[in-house]
Structure 1
Amino acid sequence: MNFNEKIDLFKKRFSSNDFSVPQRNRKKILREVESNFITLPKDYYELNNTNNRFSNWWDNTNGSINEIKSSEIKTQLIEILNVNEVHWIACEFSNHILIYKASVHSIFELINYTKNNSNQFHIVQLKYEYMISLIVQDNKTIIKKCNKRN
């Protein structure tokens, strides 16, 4: 099953309050994340001929890194995230990033369900106060907490 088919199943499985695909301004949301957390050269998109596609967020963020067992990801994220808030969850692929609005519970489900399609995820607080980036591997998960750039 490809990634888009999995997302279609997610939209049916969760209420729109728990998981939704932004229909408008997706590019604006991604640009806002980049302007607050990602350090890219000004001419990054022109030099890489990416046609305004978003990519390489993990490599272009600064933050504290913590390595944990993949089985402990839920416990670790509950300590960091406000479980009563909805967040942006960005799934990073080799040449683009897709973003969704999701509750913490559906974020855990999305990561578990799609980690074979994308192993890099970025959880962003809706007001862009912090971003938690994850690289999910079989036995370990690497977590990077990034605060808003000044």
Structure 2
Amino acid sequence: VFNRSEERYSIQGLIKKLMIIPSYHALFHELMSILMKNNYIQIEKDQLITLEKVEHISEQLDNQPERLLSMFSELKHFVHLLQTCVSVYPKILTGQESHMNVMFPNGRLDLVEKIYSDNPIADYYNDLLSHFIERYIQQRINLNNAPIHIMEVGAGTGSTTGFVL
């Protein structure tokens, strides 16, 4: 599938051929939209047709991480996460592998923790949030010394909590 130009598939036929499980049909359609917007495929009614550019997709994908990192080195953890996830897309989309097992192998946070912490973008917003919370709590104390309840919601890495505390 998607090896040469002019391949034709019905969208439902391709979903069936690739054995995409129903819970990932929406993702599959989004992935096809991305391919279409980037001129790898075209969709006419219910027909998906590969274009000439699809013949070079492997080469482009192989070079993309290095190219991206040469321009934006601060994205290295995102690129690593993306490469890890994309490499197992076939198993995830067919239900052979859980996305949770990929992102959190053996329940560990190793793969994602650098996305949420030790990352200039996340650190900036976590710092901003911690200052906002500090000012809010101080205002509440100054107003009426009312009890303050905080509920933490997140991915479980504790990176934002570390800034706040």
TM-score range, shorter chain: under 0.3
TM-score by length of 1: 0.24
Greater relative contact order structure (CA < 8 Å, 6+ sep): 1
Q: Which has the higher helix share?
A: 2
TM-score by length of 2: 0.22
Larger radius of gyration: 2
